[in-house]
Chain A
């Protein structure tokens, strides 16, 4: 009775049709057979980033697609407004970490699957943490977070001496996003397809109201709300930080916005709109999340097994007016700072880490602040946390060349902060460092570099 092999075979009745049988419309590396399923179960390691509307679906989809080694990372706790779509959560779970509850629920229902939850910010993990996965699935709702994970995944990508990406170092990603009845699913194969940064223009920055409009010529309910939120709050509550999750704060904004609207004869300020504007709420429904996540998980299954062709490389779904789906093949930006070979820096062997950091922070293509430096997973200098800063501070006066064990040329990873649309965000950049006069034989081609 208790024959585990037999049990799992019966369970994968449907999936096995795809994994065990040969086909013609499949990936060239497809090798059907029972070994493929067991390899998938044993070796494929997937990280799901985000345990929200997409993340809950993704975890379920992966668990029911034969994956067994899953991890999920999310910094949020469950809120009541999640319950209309994040189907792994119940009312009594409100306040608990999403990653933990999601992992537990899926493991309870799908035997054999193991899900490790991480209740923290994505930046809290060492970069190397992300290198442990074969596939990273993104279920996020912010551009900044996507951009960060993308940079991390691309940082593992290495190029050979002819600037061709090395297959073994590619960290594939599937990325989903939804808004109401619309969504997208995409496959990112760093070095081959465009990375998130290559096509960042697909995500135009959020339009902000000019402050003078808010202060002098308000016309809409949203203007009145943003006036209360961005101007009046600081005037009245000097020093007190505004917290969008504090109902009293929100109520205050609402009543100030109402007063202003009455003053100017502007209709339409409601509590619901106030929340929507202040928190920049993106409407979300279960069905779209389910569609987009399943498309992403299916692509991940194809990446892991080759059991069908892959999406190349960007799918949009729009259910607003009828039903429209479209596949667009975007092309990568060969000069991309993130997925390209990296900015090339030619250095003297005498340059200290301190000087190197200054050089990097002033570099016109990089323009980052608070740079921390890593070489092959070794922290050369870390700005934070304080313990690490203290531990690495003494390196600042040492030559970088020595810190890199006298490697004539290699890749260096820099993490720091960049300003984008008046917003500071974490970023990760890859640099190629070459020391002058050390190794003339294999001198790198500097064309197109720094």
Chain B
């Protein structure tokens, strides 16, 4: 067991024990185990996902040896699903690895209920008609779907599910929750107990900048009819005021206060993102509501009542120049306030649970605490069904992409990836699969692409011949490096979805391996 923990050490540092447990409980289904699917699964097996089930009906051909590391000479003629499964099992014996030798298309057609046993389905190299059907099946069964496709020097990744809620979004840069311009009584009192004009130079250079700013913001407000620095001129003046309080050159705490002085102008109240979440109709909860939305409902009540317009205090402070004593005391004051806020939210959560007829203890203290700590960073991601997007894409966006130079290649590939599927439906093969008949294939592909554009309401729009030629040149090739990128991205998104941490991608990611100017298309 200790070895397992050591093995996963480098990733547990990212998503914690909780995230790791979520991974170990997840069951993943992979459709098609070419290089794209195999690479996606490889990354998840290494990370210790609970179980994998590979669906692929094909036999290994020699061509597979040139792009898929999971098969070798001895695999030729055997079931691809079986060979890939055996190799992946070798990577991590803690993972339950299974395979089904059947074509994904047939399974989608004949046995839709098969998919409801999984946490998440990764569908790779699936053509449009099957993909649309699978999306419906997964949505109905509440199974998450990640679609991944590699095609020559392009490819796409798309998440499809109704709703994904994130408590621990763990953004890289987020303004600290310090309440410098709105201190609660305990923080105010602590600040008052510290004298900025102390003549002891050692004490003076160890007053934490949080205290300096709380006090100076108050001083400023008193001299300015209660308002804080807002114009550029006032902000400069405020910085000068801070500078004037220095009594020695090497006072890092004052340097930090000047650098952080913008934080006193942090707007009060909650962000527009959080406003949207508490105003969402899902926040009107009933017995069928998820824990997340029950907690949002409690949060909403808190903000309107105890919170006085603010979310629960996060309770953490950044490291800053300070004496140990000042810092530890300051930390305790922030933690105490966070605890108080948490208790208020918890009471409300229990009340709401009772009100909707659920067991009041059914949401753990730990979860409510984590929710409160992350209240300002909550995320709700919703994804349109793929069919919706294909039938009625956001036209204004589509038109913008078509005319924006930065997007033209990406949106071109988006259309062409659909066009090659229609081509395949019509002619039973991808354009350019074989050598010869080049001009005919290209003109057919172009006609189809233009047709798709006009179906979408973009009459008169067209794609460059260079790009259409390029798509034809690809001939449906699945290049290993492109597959490793697409599979890698798909597995990274899967990890975010399963651990319910970090923010999964939105829209459709179109990979542009020509110059790497890939784009996310929000259609």
- Interchain CA distance A219-B320 in the complex, whole Å: 8
Query: Is A311 in contact with chain B by the CB < 8 A criterion?
Result: yes
Q: Is the CB of B516 within 8 A of A311?
A: yes
Query: Is A265 in contact with chain B by the CB < 8 A criterion?
Result: yes
With contact pairs A25-B467, A84-B7, A84-B46 given, residues A13 and B66 touching in the complex (Cβ less than 8 Å): yes
Q: Is the CB of B504 within 8 A of A80?
A: no
Binds A, one of B128-136, B277-285, B485-493: B485-493
8 Å CB contact of A25 from B323, B485, B514: B514
Q: Is the CB of A272 within 8 A of B9?
A: yes
Query: Is B206 in contact with chain A by the CB < 8 A criterion?
Result: yes
Q: Is the CB of B327 within 8 A of A219?
A: yes
With contact pairs A87-B46, A286-B491, A325-B516 given, residues A272 and B13 touching in the complex (Cβ less than 8 Å): yes
Interface 1/0 per residue, B126-162 and A, CB below 8 Å: 0000000000000000000000000011000100000
- Interchain CA distance A57-B171 in the complex, whole Å: 28
- Interchain CA distance A12-B506 in the complex, whole Å: 35
With contact pairs A64-B480, A298-B513 given, residues A290 and B324 touching in the complex (Cβ less than 8 Å): no
Q: What is the total of A-B residue contacts with beta carbons within 8 Å?
A: 240
Q: Is the CB of A312 within 8 A of B43?
A: no
CB distance from A278 to the nearest CB of B (A): 14
With contact pairs A87-B91, A285-B14, A320-B502 given, residues A11 and B65 touching in the complex (Cβ less than 8 Å): yes
Specify which of B13, B321, B470 lies most central, judged by the most chain A CB atoms within 10 Å of its CB. B13
Interface 1/0 per residue, B488-523 and A, CB below 8 Å: 110111011000001111100100011111101000
- Interchain CA distance A64-B320 in the complex, whole Å: 50
Q: Is the CB of A217 within 8 A of B46?
A: no
Total chain A interface residues with beta-carbon distance under 8 A: 74
Q: Is the CB of A14 within 8 A of B478?
A: yes
Q: Is the CB of B516 within 8 A of A295?
A: yes
Query: Is B364 in contact with chain A by the CB < 8 A criterion?
Result: no
With contact pairs A181-B492, A285-B10 given, residues A323 and B473 touching in the complex (Cβ less than 8 Å): no
Contacts of A13 in B (CB 8 A): 62-63, 66, 477
- Interchain CA distance A443-B492 in the complex, whole Å: 58
Q: Is the CB of A17 within 8 A of B473?
A: yes
With contact pairs A10-B62, A24-B470 given, residues A320 and B39 touching in the complex (Cβ less than 8 Å): no
8 Å CB contact of A81 from B10, B39, B65, B485: B10
Q: Is the CB of A18 within 8 A of B515?
A: no
With contact pairs A294-B484, A322-B506, A323-B505 given, residues A7 and B62 touching in the complex (Cβ less than 8 Å): yes
CB distance from A326 to the nearest CB of B (A): 9
Q: Is the CB of A294 within 8 A of B485?
A: yes
Chain B interface residue number, banded: 35 or more
CB distance from A318 to the nearest CB of B (A): 8
Contacts of B327 in A (CB 8 A): 217, 219
Interface 1/0 per residue, A299-328 and B, CB below 8 Å: 001000000111110010001111101010
With contact pairs A25-B466, A219-B319, A293-B484 given, residues A80 and B7 touching in the complex (Cβ less than 8 Å): yes
- Interchain CA distance A297-B488 in the complex, whole Å: 14
Interface 1/0 per residue, A98-113 and B, CB below 8 Å: 0000000000111100
Contacts of A60 in B (CB 8 A): 69
- Interchain CA distance A173-B480 in the complex, whole Å: 20
Interface 1/0 per residue, A266-277 and B, CB below 8 Å: 100000100110
Give the residue name and chain of the B residue nearest to A291 (CB): B488
Query: Is A264 in contact with chain B by the CB < 8 A criterion?
Result: yes
Q: Is the CB of A290 within 8 A of B484?
A: yes
Q: Is the CB of A85 within 8 A of B46?
A: yes
With contact pairs A217-B322, A283-B14 given, residues A84 and B8 touching in the complex (Cβ less than 8 Å): yes
Q: Is the CB of B480 within 8 A of A327?
A: no
Query: Is A376 in contact with chain B by the CB < 8 A criterion?
Result: no
* 19 pairs from A and B in contact (CB 8 Å cutoff): A10-B61, A14-B478, A15-B477, A17-B475, A24-B469, A81-B6, A109-B69, A111-B65, A219-B320, A219-B324, A220-B319, A285-B14, A286-B42, A309-B514, A312-B515, A319-B489, A320-B171, A320-B172, A325-B516
Going nearest first, the 7 A-B pairs with the smallest beta carbon separation are A13-B63, A294-B484, A323-B505, A291-B488, A290-B488, A64-B480, A14-B477
- New contact pairs (19) apart from A111-B65, A181-B502, CB-CB < 8 Å: A14-B477, A18-B152, A80-B3, A84-B9, A85-B11, A185-B516, A217-B322, A217-B323, A219-B319, A219-B322, A275-B9, A285-B10, A288-B492, A294-B480, A308-B153, A319-B489, A319-B502, A321-B502, A322-B520
